[in-house]
Amino acid sequence: MSWFFSTIKNIFSGDKKESEFKKDIEKVLYEADISSALVQKLLSSIKKADGFDQTRTIIEQKLLEYLLPFESSFEIKNELCVILLVGVNGVGKTTAAAKLANLLKNKHNKKVMLVGADTFRAAGVDQLEHWSKKIGCEFFSKGSGADPGAVAYESVKKAKQNGVDVLIIDTGGRLHTQVGLMSEITKTQKAVSKAFGKDPDQVLLVIDSTQGQNIKNQVEAFAQSLFIGGVVLTKFDGTAKGGALFGAIELVKKPIFYICNGEKLENISEFKASDFVHKIL
């Protein structure tokens, strides 16, 4: 049994007053990083629950209902699909870019190009180039220190020339509180739009499931600066509670396309609400 439900079961096994019982359940829900608004909805739902089993069923059902509208398959509709990956420092964007490239190339038989536009972090460009060789896909960058917008612009031109199906642009990490750096990622998006003749097909926000309620702040900041099309959840390996995703998705109101749960290229899968709920509970 999971940490979540084993803790709740222990609460039921004690001899508590109703007020103490409710307070203990509330504490467990908050410890799972579930948002305040959703905690109150869950508490209201289980008011008349009869025992542990019924409480468990109701919580699972309510969380599943909450996430199901955000479960969606990632579709590639155009001749060239341009994807911009964004997110704060350290969330695993570069590895997520490689995993996505590997999935689209080997499972969906797409010709993929990875783009190292994280030019202020030399290791990021080198890491992505290493992954591209391992995957067997094309790679483009102008090296450390190059202008990210120029890299993005030229990558679109090159992808068109080379008959690429999917272009995945890995951008530099941004602290959501740094206005100057956030404006730079907006410029990178504009450079893509100029070369592409329209906006990128997808701007995917990469979020780290271990970062708790800070996820909400990140989502809010990026959603204000960019038109976010969907979410990729990283570092979900079972140790992360992941409950903060509920509050974050409530803000962005966009699909969760993929979930990453390990270091290997194969450790990426389409987001399934039922699997996620069972994992965090």
pLDDT at residue 247, rounded to an integer: 74
Query: CA 101 → CA 130, 181, 221, 231, 234, distances in Å?
Result: 13, 26, 26, 16, 15
Q: Which of 228, 216, 230 is nearest to 189 (CA)?
A: 228
Residue 236 scores a pLDDT above 90? no
Q: Which of 23, 19, 59 is nearest to 41 (CA)?
A: 59
Higher pLDDT, 30 or 154: 154
How does the average pLDDT of the chain come out, rounded? 85
Structure confidence by residue, pLDDT tens digits, 105-157: 999 999 999 999 987 776 788 999 999 999 999 999 998 788 899 999 999 99
Structure confidence by residue, pLDDT tens digits, 92-113: 899 999 999 999 999 999 999 9
Structure confidence by residue, pLDDT tens digits, 251-261: 778 899 999 98
Element at 231 (helix H, strand E): strand 230-234
Tell me the H-state helices in the chain. 3-13, 18-31, 36-45, 51-67, 93-106, 122-135, 148-161, 179-196, 214-225, 244-252, 273-280
Residue 13 exposure: Cα atoms within 13 Å on the Cβ side: 6
Query: How far apart are the C-alpha atoms of 40 and 24, rounded to whole Å?
Result: 13
Residue 272 scores a pLDDT above 60? yes
- Strand order through the sheet with 166-171: 138-140, 112-117, 166-171, 81-86, 202-208, 230-234, 256-260, 268-270
What is the pTM (predicted TM-score) of this model? Answer: 0.88
Beta carbons of 153 and 196 less than 8 angstroms apart: no
Tokens of 193: 């739009």
Query: How far apart are the C-alpha atoms of 159 and 117, rounded to whole Å?
Result: 15
Structure confidence by residue, pLDDT tens digits, 9-24: 777 776 666 667 778 8
Q: Where are the domains of the chain?
A: 3-70, 81-271
Structure confidence by residue, pLDDT tens digits, 182-219: 777 888 999 999 999 999 999 999 988 877 667 777 88
pLDDT at residue 17, rounded to an integer: 65
Q: How many residues does the chain have?
A: 281
Query: How far apart are the C-alpha atoms of 109 and 94, rounded to whole Å?
Result: 21
CATH classification of 81-271, choosing from 3.40.50.300, 3.30.450.40, 3.40.50.1370, 3.30.1330.10? 3.40.50.300
